[in-house]
Amino acid sequence: MTEFFHVITADQFIEQLAGFPRLGSETVPLDGAVGRVLAADIAALEDLPEGARSTVDGYAVRAADTFGASEPLPAMLAMAGEVRMNQRPQRKLDKGQAVYVPTGACLPDGADAVAMIEIAELMGEHVLVMSDVAPGTGVVRRGEDANKGDVVISAGQKLEPRHIGALAALGYGSVRVERRIKCAVISTGDELVDIEGDLTKGGGASVRDVNSHLIRAQAEAFGCEARLYGICRDGEAELADAIQEACAECDVVLVSGGSSAGFMDLTKQAFKRAVDADILVHGIAVKPGKPTIVAKSGVKALVGLPGHPVSAFFIMIEVVRPLIRSMQGLGNEQRPFVLAGLSAKIPSNQGREDFVPVRLSSDGGKIAADAVPYKSGLITLLSRSDGYIRIPRLAEGLDGGSEVKVFGY
């Protein structure tokens, strides 16, 4: 068991994620699968398409019959009928013939190209093709999209609309996905009031419960089912009762506040009291968010987040999101970023990794990043940033003009 406030690095935390098991899978209808994580490989049940089809409106031809064709000297082909949508051609295309095909229609045997209608002209019983076409022009071949038995989408893929379209084309009306993780969200603090509450309560020292809604929104953005368990006043027994209830109903319990090293360090004791949790981490060498707690009780994960909204926001990104991904069976995330030049120097203290929100601007095609001045409790400044940079733990800051990676939220 980790000693009290024994600080580890963010990378050392990532190494501990393997200790949290995946939660199993379930079958869901295709129309409810977007955003879910695929639990098993998806293979094509048949060739797709099952036969050659036209990708344009035009005339199915033998490409060789058009070689050398031009507007002054077009290829003259015998008109041999048409193929309608949802119709299998009954006749093979012979040399010197053309058949009209709309976009998506099946090609007759013998045809290996389609001359677009823009380069062809119907004249009585003949079709004049004004330009030669290469084999394969205007055609999608049998199995060109997928061959029977091919793995089209691999397990672990988070399903996006493009994947849903592919699954529909492959004939999958339902799919096996990782079970959606249920997250409980608990805020702690005597000073908290509901977001529509009276801030004058308690002599004007009250603050709105931002974290319940911020953390819930992030958890849902990570693909979880999130449930609010309300505000707990500063007291170990009350918090332990809420954690016990949340652990019984959810897979991950997120508690904001009460995780510092001072007098109000309630979360750690409450985790132990509620579910006899093993404290894996108490302190991560990052700013903001150093007093983070990560605990485990059976297959349940418990995270003590800082009370300041900005700190909680970054710990959700850097700690909770990797935890959720690991429990969903997803690998390490390659986060997208843009490269930018720092507009001014940013100081930093060695020994912790700093997360600094920035605004992006463009001047002459170059992207510049300006640090957004913030303090842990000032959430609206964060909402006006475009992303954030990470200053390495052993650096003493970054100089103006330095090239940095700007990560999105």
Fold type of domain 337-407: Beta-clip (2.40.340)
Q: Give CA–CA dist 239/246, Å, rounded.
A: 10
- 10-24+180-327 CATH pick, 1.10.3720.10, 3.40.980.10, 3.90.1150.10, 3.40.640.10: 3.40.980.10
Give start-end residues of each CATH 2.40.340.10 domain in the chain: 337-407
Give start-end residues of each CATH 3.40.980.10 domain in the chain: 10-24+180-327
Spatial neighbors of 288 by CB under 8 A, at least 6 apart, are 306, 308, 310, 311, 314, 315, 355, 376
Q: In the chain, count of helices (H) and strands (E)?
A: 8, 28
Please determine, looking at this structure, whether the domain spanning 53-140 carries the CATH number 2.170.190.11. yes
Which segment, 1-5, 265-269, 329-333, is predicted with the most confidence on average?
265-269
Q: Give CA–CA dist 370/342, Å, rounded.
A: 6
Predicted structure pTM score: 0.79
pLDDT in tens, 170-219: 999 999 999 999 999 999 988 888 888 888 766 667 888 999 999 999 99
pLDDT in tens, 138-179: 999 998 888 999 999 999 899 999 999 999 999 999 999 999
Give start-end residues of each CATH 2.170.190.11 domain in the chain: 53-140
pLDDT in tens, 98-120: 999 999 999 999 999 999 999 99
From the CB of residue 87, how many other CB atoms can be counted at a distance below 10 Å?
10
From the CB of residue 47, how many other CB atoms can be counted at a distance below 10 Å?
17
Q: What is the pLDDT of residue 3?
A: 44
Fold type of domain 25-48+145-178: Molybdopterin biosynthesis moea protein, domain 2 (3.90.105)
**Which one-letter DSSP state was computed for residue 3?**
P
Q: Which one is predicted more confidently, 364 or 189? A: 189
